[in-house]
Structure 1
């Protein structure tokens, strides 16, 4: 951590140049070891539980008392140690209650490290997002320039958002339009250096090639070699035969192009009538200037211009796709400084990697501690469950052992992994020189996910106050019911999804694909765009009014089931859990329905005496025996007492709360007592 702070505050280039290459194998080891550790922990917990169960069962069969805790002199000490371990896991490291402050130094140290790590991650993410935004603007504006340069009749009206659509598909419909569109694109590509406002360069390797896919069938033309069915052929050729160059008086070269010459050279008859697609592949270089840094961004652009009519229905869709890669300007024989991610500093990135690695180490150590405590608790309860809880069962319920699941530590671990990988890729690729916008999007996605999980992991430190803890306890309480509910609702949602996609996909833009249909249904759940969904149906294209009326009934049924009924039931599950947790926070133990009835009965003298006499009977015959067996799950008679009491809840919390050892107050300020411990 000290090294991380030094690197952040001072720009030690020598240290950075040494640390950055070392982080390559280090991160690989962290990712591999981290994933293996998580898998091993789960496997070990399962295997150790099984082994301990078999061992305990065997000891009970042979009547051995070899376990050290079974000795009276060691049993009490072993119980105290186990309770201390469970307190470290389940109790908050910082607690304020009734003018008493309890805290653990290790807990506060981890909290301090997390705060520094989150601050650095957020600082790095904002600056990198700013640099990524600038490069994205360069790439996307360059794509628009090439659309205006290579696509005939393209204008700004086609650059609106895809929804709601302002116009139809960009397409051509006549032979003359298709030939002119191809000739226009090739001509402007070769004249880009001269006519484009931007700085474009065609190097020796920057050329254009064409791939034409066409079909034949018997009777279409005079070719008698085709006997039956439709055959599809494909030919790829460089743009050469139809390209013509002329010199101007200024000794500049002006290019023109005629696609029909290519067809004649390759002996393709009736090409436009038989064409399924024509794709023009090209490469181009460009330079963009950065006013702030006075440096240049050199790009290698690879693109494809497609004229597609795959069904041969007469509508040829035109689409341009480009991919711009930032390269070193020396590769273009230009003596200018390369623009880099100017706000993404190396020393901040190295600091984040060091802190993330430190956090991973602490998380793994804590996970090992949780695993060992789980094994000890499992073994202890196998031996002493009946002694502590006065119950006939053999062990705690499975739900109590699920509390050992390290949710917050897994969140922290995943955050550190995403942050380390994203930061390393940013630092490495910034120095490497070449990257794509897609790569930067991946890096910012990893950083964004790591930042989200890092901020989420800070919520674990808010458990020191009961009001802050209310949210988490409500989520824990409602989680089983919510998962069950979501499984049932998901099945119904998938049914509506496929039904809407199958019926309305040809006639509705919002149901064209399963993903579009899913997004539409999610928006309808919130009550958004219900009218738009109904109005966008192109019912006049369908075979009748069946689809129109079906769409109305479909949307109404979906809104009634999911919006009106589903969401309200979802909220009710959270409210029910919230009321239960709030009842517990008021100092009352949460009782089940039968426990509530028994609690009322024990306060009535006649009912209490009747239940007491039933529990005191020694015979197990008849209905009284069955009743006594059921009552023993809820009430018991304490030794030396003549009253019934509700038995302890079968929870680890009850086990930990019986620890009478209290830390001595370190200091007392007025009426406030402060207790502390190392861990």
Structure 2
């Protein structure tokens, strides 16, 4: 620690100007005893202010338990975080259960619609197998295109044959006309025999209603021609057949939960954007939740269920808002104290507070808590709207993204309180120590990774299913780093090009050897080096910044002695005004203690 003053003369003149100690003008006494007395008095005042500043900083960096012992200060933020983690986890569990049922129910209905309306659909396509057990569902001939339309229309017309409780989208349950739309290039004529074409890239659409004829079989080709619509497959980009179906889910019913009512907007899509002779066929079913009109018992239960869920959502929003305000207030007060400390070091020791010392006042945990509070408040608001109104899968997914990420950060925040105990603080300190080295190491490793990724995508993409896109290439390489599915990656490579087959072997062996045996080993060694350093610090002591050296360590006896409660209500405004010549600091940090010294000044 640097000395407070260098010479007696400088001390006297600085303090006279600093604290506005009056200078003698007339009647000057060049008396050694008077000068010595004033010097002793001023040094005592500075020492007292230094002790008060030290106690203030010591109290600021205490954990909630130590603050309770020091000032009997109730740990509001800690209690709020405990209540929040309980409520948020309860809310997430309920929402996750409902969302799983919703997504699973809508997916199962999509599978049922595929069997009812898609020609050529079979059960093997319902399982996500790797490698895929079947190729893409597509049409290749003109007759297959019209047969697919006929199959879908007839399945919709005979909806009563389905096992599912499906109904048409109107009040009297009469069949509504499906809508068939085609999207074509404005002009697209191909003359392959003489390598000529006519083309206009503007896309135009044309739609027609499919009406069931009376007393005869529906034929889509005749119906399209009768409507004056002609399909030019050379210019066709996409075609869609759209209709809506209503249904009710009894499985959602519980002691206080009524059945759910849905409307599915079904679209059978013919995708011909590649113009490669293969028109892929997919079915999309977008669900919309409707307001049910059930019997009176379930209407009552619905109100109870909605009230209970709304109460939980409101409690979560309130507790997260309180947490947001408390943590924002703590960050603001920390910045005020940081500015006060910077000025104190500058005026008292004539030196700037180091960057490490300034960063001590920035609590990353509070920032993380503020982020998760914002995410949970937004997710809870969307959840409340989902439970009250008609929403689709997109809103469910956005809500789950907010609530899930917020809950993840909430549980991460528990590490802050475990960090108060040295036994559990090793992980946090190791990550903090290793973070800069890991960042620099990762930048170098990512450059190598990017080179392998682009190379594999370009060269192996047409011949290997794991390298067909940049995203799948990255996923494949990351899996190889972790030793996943290595043999399959080697064996799936096509042998159409012997040169590229041999290149794939060199490429894969090089990548696996480099990353598993070199990069991963170095990565682990960086973390282990940080871990060994932290263990050494526990034995020999952690390095301290200038701020930590000034603060020192408060013993358990000092914390519990009531020293921090003595003169805790005294104002620091006079001290700050005289020290900094300004009044920008708020009353939140106007309490360092001791009016006696301030009165002397």
> TM over 0.5: same fold?
yes
Matched, 1:295 2:251: no
Q: Against the structure 1 CA distance between its residues 296 and 470, is the aligned structure 2 distance closer, same or farther, given a 3 Å change threshold?
A: closer
Instruction: Find the counterpart in structure 1 of residue 56 from structure 2.
Output: 85
Q: CA deviation at 1:410?
A: 0.6
Matched, 1:201 2:168: yes
Q: Against the structure 1 CA distance between its residues 560 and 104, is the aligned structure 2 distance closer, same or farther, given a 3 Å change threshold?
A: farther
Q: Against the structure 1 CA distance between its residues 102 and 464, is the aligned structure 2 distance closer, same or farther, given a 3 Å change threshold?
A: farther
The partner residue of 2:244 within 283, 292, 300 is: 283
**1:91-127 Cα shifts (integer Å, max 9, x gaps):** 433369xxxx967644644322211210111111111
Answer with 657-666 or 470-479: which moved more: 657-666
Instruction: Find the counterpart in structure 2 of residue 191 from structure 1.
Output: 158
- Return the alpha-carbon distance in structure 2 between the equivalents of residues 525 and 170 of structure 1: 34
- Return the alpha-carbon distance in structure 1 between the equivalents of residues 70 and 461 of structure 2: 60
Give the alignment of 1:138-157 within 5 angstroms: 138-157=105-124
TM-score (norm 1): 0.69
Matched, 1:378 2:339: no
Q: Against the structure 1 CA distance between its residues 274 and 347, is the aligned structure 2 distance closer, same or farther, given a 3 Å change threshold?
A: closer
**1:416-465 Cα shifts (integer Å, max 9, x gaps):** 111112122222331x3312222122222211212111111121112332
Q: CA deviation at 1:267?
A: 5.6
- Return the alpha-carbon distance in structure 1 between the equivalents of residues 556 and 390 of structure 2: 63
The partner residue of 2:375 within 408, 411, 418 is: 418
Matched, 1:395 2:348: no
TM-score (norm 2): 0.78
The partner residue of 1:307 within 251, 258, 270 is: 270
Contact 1:93 1:104 survives alignment (8 Å)? no
The partner residue of 2:92 within 119, 125, 146 is: 125
Contact 2:64 2:78 survives alignment (8 Å)? no
Instruction: Find the counterpart in structure 2 of residue 45 from structure 1.
Output: none
**Secondary structure of 1:161's aligned partner:** coil
- Return the alpha-carbon distance in structure 2 between the equivalents of residues 654 and 326 of structure 1: 62
Instruction: Find the counterpart in structure 2 of residue 578 from structure 1.
Output: 531
Q: CA deviation at 1:143?
A: 0.8
**1:152-196 Cα shifts (integer Å, max 9, x gaps):** 121211101153311111122223222211211122223324555
Instruction: Find the counterpart in structure 1 of residue 4 from structure 2.
Output: none
Structure 1: runs of 5 or more not aligned? 1-61, 247-253, 387-393, 592-648, 668-673
Q: Against the structure 1 CA distance between its residues 112 and 274, is the aligned structure 2 distance closer, same or farther, given a 3 Å change threshold?
A: closer
Contact 1:309 1:317 survives alignment (8 Å)? yes
The partner residue of 1:237 within 195, 201, 207 is: 207
**1:227-278 Cα shifts (integer Å, max 9, x gaps):** 953346644222337x4233xxxxxxx9633324413542637x45664432
- Return the alpha-carbon distance in structure 1 between the equivalents of residues 20 and 178 of structure 2: 82
- Return the alpha-carbon distance in structure 1 between the equivalents of residues 178 and 345 of structure 2: 76
Q: CA deviation at 1:146?
A: 0.8
Structure 2: runs of 5 or more not aligned? 1-12, 22-41, 569-590, 592-601
Contact 1:307 1:319 survives alignment (8 Å)? yes
Give the alignment of 1:659-674 within 5 angstroms: 663=558, 665=560
Contact 2:189 2:234 survives alignment (8 Å)? no
The partner residue of 2:408 within 452, 471, 481 is: 452
- Return the alpha-carbon distance in structure 2 between the equivalents of residues 520 and 364 of structure 1: 43
- Return the alpha-carbon distance in structure 1 between the equivalents of residues 15 and 217 of structure 2: 98
Contact 2:210 2:223 survives alignment (8 Å)? no
Q: CA deviation at 1:308?
A: 2.2
Contact 2:120 2:137 survives alignment (8 Å)? no
- Return the alpha-carbon distance in structure 2 between the equivalents of residues 105 and 564 of structure 1: 55
Q: CA RMSD in A?
A: 3.8
Matched, 1:476 2:440: no
Contact 1:94 1:464 survives alignment (8 Å)? no
Q: Against the structure 1 CA distance between its residues 277 and 426, is the aligned structure 2 distance closer, same or farther, given a 3 Å change threshold?
A: closer
- Return the alpha-carbon distance in structure 2 between the equivalents of residues 403 and 547 of structure 1: 56
Contact 1:82 1:373 survives alignment (8 Å)? no
Contact 1:191 1:255 survives alignment (8 Å)? no
- Return the alpha-carbon distance in structure 2 between the equivalents of residues 463 and 211 of structure 1: 62
